[in-house]
Structure 1
Protein backbone atom coordinates (compact mmCIF):
# COMPACT_ATOMS: atom_id res chain seq x y z
CA UNK A 1 0.00 0.00 0.00
CA UNK A 2 1.60 3.24 -1.20
CA UNK A 3 0.24 5.25 1.74
CA UNK A 4 2.97 3.81 3.93
CA UNK A 5 5.71 4.95 1.54
CA UNK A 6 5.24 8.66 2.08
CA UNK A 7 2.84 11.24 3.41
CA UNK A 8 2.54 12.67 -0.12
CA UNK A 9 1.30 9.31 -1.44
CA UNK A 10 -1.40 9.35 1.21
CA UNK A 11 -2.51 12.91 0.42
CA UNK A 12 -2.63 12.32 -3.34
CA UNK A 13 -5.22 9.58 -2.88
CA UNK A 14 -8.84 10.59 -2.23
CA UNK A 15 -9.47 7.41 -0.22
CA UNK A 16 -6.23 7.99 1.68
CA UNK A 17 -7.41 11.48 2.61
CA UNK A 18 -10.72 10.13 3.89
CA UNK A 19 -9.11 7.36 5.96
CA UNK A 20 -6.53 9.80 7.35
CA UNK A 21 -9.33 12.24 8.21
CA UNK A 22 -11.14 9.44 10.10
CA UNK A 23 -7.94 8.76 12.01
CA UNK A 24 -7.41 12.46 12.79
CA UNK A 25 -10.99 12.68 14.02
CA UNK A 26 -10.13 10.07 16.69
CA UNK A 27 -7.36 12.44 17.81
CA UNK A 28 -9.58 15.53 17.55
CA UNK A 29 -7.26 17.08 14.97
CA UNK A 30 -9.08 16.66 11.62
CA UNK A 31 -9.02 20.45 11.22
CA UNK A 32 -5.38 20.13 10.09
CA UNK A 33 -6.23 18.03 7.06
CA UNK A 34 -9.39 20.02 6.30
CA UNK A 35 -7.37 23.26 6.37
CA UNK A 36 -4.66 21.78 4.15
CA UNK A 37 -7.27 20.58 1.62
CA UNK A 38 -9.04 23.96 1.70
CA UNK A 39 -5.70 25.65 0.91
CA UNK A 40 -5.07 23.28 -2.00
CA UNK A 41 -8.47 24.15 -3.43
CA UNK A 42 -7.88 27.86 -2.74
CA UNK A 43 -4.66 27.89 -4.78
CA UNK A 44 -6.60 26.82 -7.87
CA UNK A 45 -8.95 29.83 -7.73
CA UNK A 46 -8.18 32.39 -10.42
CA UNK A 47 -10.92 35.01 -10.01
CA UNK A 48 -10.17 37.76 -7.46
CA UNK A 49 -13.73 37.95 -6.11
CA UNK A 50 -13.90 34.18 -5.62
CA UNK A 51 -10.47 34.24 -3.97
CA UNK A 52 -11.57 36.89 -1.47
CA UNK A 53 -14.71 34.94 -0.52
CA UNK A 54 -12.77 31.67 -0.16
CA UNK A 55 -9.96 33.33 1.83
CA UNK A 56 -12.42 34.85 4.29
CA UNK A 57 -14.15 31.48 4.72
CA UNK A 58 -10.83 29.73 5.40
CA UNK A 59 -9.81 32.50 7.79
CA UNK A 60 -13.11 32.35 9.71
CA UNK A 61 -13.22 28.56 9.88
CA UNK A 62 -9.56 27.75 10.60
CA UNK A 63 -7.29 30.74 11.29
CA UNK A 64 -8.90 33.36 13.48
CA UNK A 65 -8.63 32.93 17.23
CA UNK A 66 -11.71 31.10 18.44
CA UNK A 67 -12.50 29.67 14.98
CA UNK A 68 -14.69 26.55 15.02
CA UNK A 69 -11.80 24.48 13.64
CA UNK A 70 -8.88 26.62 14.78
CA UNK A 71 -5.53 25.27 13.57
CA UNK A 72 -2.44 25.32 15.75
CA UNK A 73 -0.11 27.91 14.18
CA UNK A 74 2.20 30.50 15.71
CA UNK A 75 0.90 34.00 16.39
CA UNK A 76 3.23 35.60 13.80
CA UNK A 77 1.76 33.46 10.99
CA UNK A 78 -1.78 34.05 12.27
CA UNK A 79 -1.13 37.81 12.42
CA UNK A 80 0.34 37.83 8.90
CA UNK A 81 -2.80 36.17 7.50
CA UNK A 82 -5.03 38.58 9.45
CA UNK A 83 -3.24 41.56 7.91
CA UNK A 84 -3.55 40.19 4.37
CA UNK A 85 -7.09 38.83 4.53
CA UNK A 86 -8.71 41.99 3.14
CA UNK A 87 -6.57 41.70 -0.01
CA UNK A 88 -5.73 37.99 -0.17
CA UNK A 89 -3.24 36.77 -2.76
CA UNK A 90 -2.91 33.23 -4.09
CA UNK A 91 -0.17 32.53 -1.53
CA UNK A 92 -1.70 34.10 1.58
CA UNK A 93 -2.03 30.75 3.38
CA UNK A 94 1.25 29.18 2.17
CA UNK A 95 3.20 29.64 5.39
CA UNK A 96 0.38 28.29 7.57
CA UNK A 97 -0.21 25.42 5.15
CA UNK A 98 3.49 24.46 5.29
CA UNK A 99 3.40 24.48 9.09
CA UNK A 100 0.29 22.29 9.19
CA UNK A 101 1.73 19.94 6.57
CA UNK A 102 4.88 19.54 8.69
CA UNK A 103 2.81 18.92 11.80
CA UNK A 104 0.76 16.22 10.06
CA UNK A 105 3.78 14.62 8.36
CA UNK A 106 6.02 14.49 11.44
CA UNK A 107 3.44 14.05 14.18
CA UNK A 108 0.11 12.61 12.96
CA UNK A 109 1.29 10.50 10.00
CA UNK A 110 3.67 8.25 12.02
CA UNK A 111 0.85 7.62 14.52
CA UNK A 112 -1.53 6.92 11.65
CA UNK A 113 0.82 4.22 10.30
CA UNK A 114 0.71 2.51 13.71
CA UNK A 115 -3.04 2.98 14.16
CA UNK A 116 -5.61 0.19 14.19
CA UNK A 117 -7.37 1.86 11.24
CA UNK A 118 -4.30 1.63 9.02
CA UNK A 119 -3.20 -1.80 10.28
CA UNK A 120 -6.65 -3.24 9.52
CA UNK A 121 -6.46 -1.86 5.97
CA UNK A 122 -3.01 -3.38 5.51
CA UNK A 123 -4.32 -6.78 6.57
CA UNK A 124 -7.24 -6.50 4.14
CA UNK A 125 -4.83 -5.49 1.40
CA UNK A 126 -2.58 -8.50 2.06
CA UNK A 127 -5.51 -10.92 1.98
CA UNK A 128 -6.57 -9.85 -1.50
Structure 2
Protein backbone atom coordinates (compact mmCIF):
# COMPACT_ATOMS: atom_id res chain seq x y z
CA UNK A 1 0.00 0.00 0.00
CA UNK A 2 2.96 2.31 -0.46
CA UNK A 3 2.29 5.65 -2.09
CA UNK A 4 4.77 7.55 -4.26
CA UNK A 5 7.37 9.44 -2.23
CA UNK A 6 6.24 12.91 -3.39
CA UNK A 7 2.68 12.08 -2.37
CA UNK A 8 3.68 10.93 1.12
CA UNK A 9 5.90 14.00 1.51
CA UNK A 10 3.00 16.26 0.40
CA UNK A 11 0.87 14.88 3.25
CA UNK A 12 3.29 16.61 5.59
CA UNK A 13 2.76 19.97 3.90
CA UNK A 14 -0.95 20.39 4.58
CA UNK A 15 -3.91 18.40 5.82
CA UNK A 16 -5.82 18.84 2.56
CA UNK A 17 -3.08 17.02 0.62
CA UNK A 18 -3.57 14.10 2.97
CA UNK A 19 -7.37 14.21 2.74
CA UNK A 20 -7.37 14.34 -1.08
CA UNK A 21 -5.52 11.04 -1.31
CA UNK A 22 -7.24 7.69 -0.69
CA UNK A 23 -4.06 6.12 0.71
CA UNK A 24 -3.50 9.19 2.87
CA UNK A 25 -7.02 8.89 4.25
CA UNK A 26 -6.41 5.24 5.16
CA UNK A 27 -3.08 5.98 6.88
CA UNK A 28 -4.58 8.95 8.75
CA UNK A 29 -7.56 6.84 9.80
CA UNK A 30 -5.21 4.15 11.09
CA UNK A 31 -3.42 6.80 13.17
CA UNK A 32 -6.68 8.32 14.44
CA UNK A 33 -7.86 4.87 15.48
CA UNK A 34 -4.84 4.66 17.82
CA UNK A 35 -6.08 7.91 19.40
CA UNK A 36 -9.73 6.82 19.44
CA UNK A 37 -10.70 9.80 17.28
CA UNK A 38 -11.34 8.33 13.84
CA UNK A 39 -14.91 9.66 13.98
CA UNK A 40 -13.58 13.08 12.93
CA UNK A 41 -12.18 11.79 9.65
CA UNK A 42 -15.13 9.46 9.05
CA UNK A 43 -17.55 12.37 9.56
CA UNK A 44 -15.52 14.60 7.23
CA UNK A 45 -15.50 11.89 4.54
CA UNK A 46 -19.24 11.24 4.99
CA UNK A 47 -19.85 14.97 4.43
CA UNK A 48 -17.75 14.91 1.25
CA UNK A 49 -19.86 12.00 -0.06
CA UNK A 50 -23.05 13.74 1.06
CA UNK A 51 -22.21 16.82 -1.04
CA UNK A 52 -22.07 14.62 -4.15
CA UNK A 53 -25.65 13.44 -3.54
CA UNK A 54 -28.17 15.27 -5.66
CA UNK A 55 -31.35 13.20 -5.48
CA UNK A 56 -33.58 14.56 -2.65
CA UNK A 57 -34.59 11.10 -1.35
CA UNK A 58 -30.96 9.93 -1.21
CA UNK A 59 -29.90 13.23 0.38
CA UNK A 60 -32.59 12.86 3.03
CA UNK A 61 -31.51 9.32 3.88
CA UNK A 62 -27.81 10.24 3.91
CA UNK A 63 -28.44 13.28 6.14
CA UNK A 64 -30.37 11.16 8.65
CA UNK A 65 -27.62 8.52 8.65
CA UNK A 66 -24.86 11.11 9.20
CA UNK A 67 -26.92 12.78 11.92
CA UNK A 68 -27.62 9.56 13.80
CA UNK A 69 -24.07 8.22 13.43
CA UNK A 70 -22.06 11.39 14.18
CA UNK A 71 -24.10 14.42 15.22
CA UNK A 72 -26.86 13.63 17.68
CA UNK A 73 -26.01 13.51 21.36
CA UNK A 74 -24.85 9.99 22.30
CA UNK A 75 -24.39 9.03 18.64
CA UNK A 76 -22.14 5.95 18.27
CA UNK A 77 -19.37 8.10 16.74
CA UNK A 78 -20.34 11.46 18.18
CA UNK A 79 -18.16 14.32 16.93
CA UNK A 80 -17.07 17.19 19.13
CA UNK A 81 -19.05 20.22 17.94
CA UNK A 82 -20.76 23.04 19.82
CA UNK A 83 -24.43 22.72 20.74
CA UNK A 84 -25.45 25.60 18.43
CA UNK A 85 -24.05 23.78 15.39
CA UNK A 86 -25.62 20.51 16.55
CA UNK A 87 -29.00 22.28 16.95
CA UNK A 88 -28.69 23.97 13.55
CA UNK A 89 -28.19 20.59 11.87
CA UNK A 90 -31.14 19.18 13.80
CA UNK A 91 -33.34 22.00 12.51
CA UNK A 92 -32.22 21.44 8.91
CA UNK A 93 -32.68 17.68 9.07
CA UNK A 94 -36.35 17.56 7.95
CA UNK A 95 -35.31 19.23 4.66
CA UNK A 96 -31.55 18.92 4.39
CA UNK A 97 -29.81 20.78 1.61
CA UNK A 98 -26.33 20.28 0.19
CA UNK A 99 -24.89 22.64 2.83
CA UNK A 100 -26.58 20.94 5.80
CA UNK A 101 -23.30 19.83 7.40
CA UNK A 102 -20.94 22.55 6.09
CA UNK A 103 -20.46 24.39 9.38
CA UNK A 104 -19.85 21.19 11.33
CA UNK A 105 -17.52 19.89 8.63
CA UNK A 106 -15.46 23.10 8.78
CA UNK A 107 -15.25 22.83 12.58
CA UNK A 108 -14.07 19.23 12.37
CA UNK A 109 -11.56 20.09 9.63
CA UNK A 110 -10.13 22.85 11.85
CA UNK A 111 -10.05 20.49 14.82
CA UNK A 112 -8.16 17.85 12.82
CA UNK A 113 -5.81 20.48 11.35
CA UNK A 114 -4.89 21.98 14.73
CA UNK A 115 -5.05 18.88 16.89
CA UNK A 116 -4.71 15.42 15.30
CA UNK A 117 -2.79 16.36 12.16
CA UNK A 118 0.33 17.78 13.92
CA UNK A 119 0.45 14.63 16.07
CA UNK A 120 0.02 12.49 12.96
CA UNK A 121 3.07 14.14 11.37
CA UNK A 122 5.17 13.23 14.42
CA UNK A 123 3.67 9.75 14.72
CA UNK A 124 5.53 6.52 14.17
CA UNK A 125 2.95 5.56 11.53
CA UNK A 126 3.75 8.57 9.32
CA UNK A 127 7.47 8.71 10.08
CA UNK A 128 7.95 5.00 9.29
CA UNK A 129 6.00 5.32 6.04
CA UNK A 130 8.00 8.40 5.06
CA UNK A 131 11.23 6.54 5.76
CA UNK A 132 10.04 3.53 3.75
CA UNK A 133 9.11 5.50 0.62
CA UNK A 134 12.27 7.60 0.76
CA UNK A 135 14.41 4.44 0.74
CA UNK A 136 12.80 3.12 -2.44
TM class by shorter chain equals over 0.9
> C-alpha displacement at 1:126, in angstroms?
1.4
> C-alpha displacement at 1:84, in angstroms?
0.8
Measured against aligned partners, the alpha-carbon deviations of 1:30-80 in whole angstroms (never above 9, x if no partner) come to 000000000000001010010000000000000000000000000000000
Q: Secondary structure at the match of 2:97?
A: coil
Structure-1 separation of matches of 2:96 and 2:33 = 29
Structure 1 unaligned blocks of 5 or more: none
Q: Secondary structure at the match of 1:90?
A: coil
Equivalent of 1:25 in 33, 41, 47: 33
Give the CA RMSD over aligned residues.
0.5
Q: Secondary structure at the match of 2:18?
A: helix
Equivalent of 1:114 in 122, 130, 133: 122
> C-alpha displacement at 1:88, in angstroms?
0.4
The structure 1 segments of at least 4 consecutive aligned residues displaced by more than 3 Å after TM superposition are: none
Structure-1 separation of matches of 2:101 and 2:18 = 22
- Equivalences, count: 128
Q: Secondary structure at the match of 1:110?
A: helix
- Ranked by relative contact order (alpha carbons within 8 Å, sequence separation 6 or more), the top structure is 2
**1:36-51 correspondence runs (5 A):** 36-51=44-59
**1:95-114 correspondence runs (5 A):** 95-114=103-122
Structure 2 unaligned blocks of 5 or more: 1-8
- TM-score after normalising by structure 1: 0.99
> C-alpha displacement at 1:2, in angstroms?
1.1
Equivalent of 1:76 in 66, 72, 84: 84
